[in-house]
Amino acid sequence: MELYFLGTNAGVPSLERNVTSVALRLLEERRSLWLFDCGEGTQHQILRSPLKLSKLEAIFITHLHGDHLFGLPGLISSRAYQGGDTPLVIYGPKGLKKFIETTLSLSESRINYKLEIVEHQGGVLFEDETFRVEAALLEHRIDSYGYRVIEKDLPGKLDAAVLERYGIRPGPLYGKLKRGESVVAPSGETLHAKDVLGEPKAGRIVTILGDTRPCNSALTLAQEADMLVHEATFLDELAKTAHDYHHSTAKQAAEAAKEAGVQQLLLTHFSSRYKSDDQLLRLQEEARAVFPNAQLAREHVLYPVARRCGRK
C-alpha cells in the first residue's frame, strides 16, 4: 500500500510541478491501482512513473475544478493503448458523468473496455472483503469530497509449531484456517482457527481530501488515519486569503492531523507562488511546528503506508 504523487500544484501547472493527482498502489493487496483526481497532464506523468494503466481499477474525483479532472478524457481514451482493457469505475460529484460523456462524444473517442461512472453525495462508495471506501462533503466553493480508504483487518499468523503437532502442513488446510474455518486434522481431531491464529493485524487507513477549508468532515474522514493527504495551498500568513478562496494553510492541515490522531501527514496542492524548494520548505516547517510527522509530497516519490501498531 503506497502513495505516488503525479501532481502537487494548485490551480495551474508549473515547470516544477503538475496539477493534482495521486495514485494509491495496491499491488500486494489486490494487484491494482487507484487514482485520486486526474489533473491535466496526468497520463504524461504516468508515462514517467512505475505505474501501469493496465492496473488502473478506479478513479476517485474530489471535485469538478479543472486542475482536478481535465486529464480524464485523455487518460480514459489512451488507457486501452497501454494494456488497459479491464473495467474502470470513476467516482465523483454530480456533473462528472456529463463532463466525461460530452468530451468523449464530441471527440469521437472509442473505449473498448467497460467504463462505469458513479456520481455520489458521500457515504460508502465501495466495499469488498478487503477494502471499504467512504466519502464526505468538505467545505469548498463547489461540492468537494474527501475519501477515506479503510483496509479491513488481516488474519493473524498461523502457529506453525502447533499445526505441526497436529500433522498439518502448508496447503489447503492452512488457507481454511486463515479464513477462520475449522478443519479436521489427519488424526481425526477438529482444529478451530481461534486455537492456532495469532492476533489479527489492524488494517490501514488512508484519507485523501479534496480542496477544503478546515471543517468537521475533514476531521471525521481523517480520524486515526495512518496517512492523511491534506491540501496546504498557503502559508498561514495568508490565512485570510485561504479562507476567502476556500482553501487551507499548512498550519491548518497540521492542526487537523493532530486533532484527528493521524500517524503521517503529507502536504500537497501548493500555490504556484511557492516556486523554490526554500519556499516550499517553509510550508513544511510551519506544519511540523504543530505536527512533527508532516512532510511535503514530492512528485514521482513512493510513500509506503506504514501499519500502525496498537490500533484496536
pLDDT in tens, 124-158: 999 999 999 999 999 999 999 999 999 998 777 77
CATH of the domain at 127: 3.60.15.10
In the annotated binding site, the residues are 63, 65, 67-68, 140, 211, 269
Residue 111, H or E segment: none
User: Within this chain, do residues 188 and 253 fall inside the same structural domain, yes or no?
Assistant: no
Examine the fold and report which residue of 139, 174, 196 is the final residue of a domain before the chain moves on.
Answer: 196
SS3 label, residue 99: helix
Please say if the pLDDT value at position 27 is more than 70. yes
pLDDT at 81: 86
User: Within this chain, do residues 78 and 218 fall inside the same structural domain, yes or no?
Assistant: yes
Within a 13 Å sphere around the CA of 92, how many CA atoms are in the beta-carbon half? 27
Examine the fold and report which residue of 139, 169, 196 is the final residue of a domain before the chain moves on.
Answer: 196
Catalytic residue list contains 153: no
Which band of pLDDT confidence, cut at 50, 70 and 90, is reported for residue 310? low
Percentages of the chain per state (helix, strand, coil), in multiples of 5: 30, 25, 40
In the annotated binding site for Zn(2+), the residues are 63, 65, 67-68, 140, 211, 269
User: Within this chain, do residues 169 and 100 fall inside the same structural domain, yes or no?
Assistant: no
Please say if the pLDDT value at position 231 is more than 90. yes
User: Within this chain, do residues 214 and 83 fall inside the same structural domain, yes or no?
Assistant: yes
User: Within this chain, do residues 114 and 48 fall inside the same structural domain, yes or no?
Assistant: yes
pLDDT at 232: 98
CB 21 within 8 A of CB 37: yes
Give me the domain span that covers residue 165. 160-196
Please say if the pLDDT value at position 215 is more than 90. yes
pLDDT in tens, 80-111: 888 889 999 999 999 999 999 999 999 999 89
Residue 309 forms part of a structural domain = no
Catalytic site residue from 37, 67, 226, 236? 67
Which band of pLDDT confidence, cut at 50, 70 and 90, is reported for residue 52? very high
User: Within this chain, do residues 115 and 34 fall inside the same structural domain, yes or no?
Assistant: yes
Q: What are phi and psi of 185, to 5 degrees?
A: -75, 165
Total number of domains constituting the chain: 2
Overall pTM surpassing 0.85 (yes/no): yes
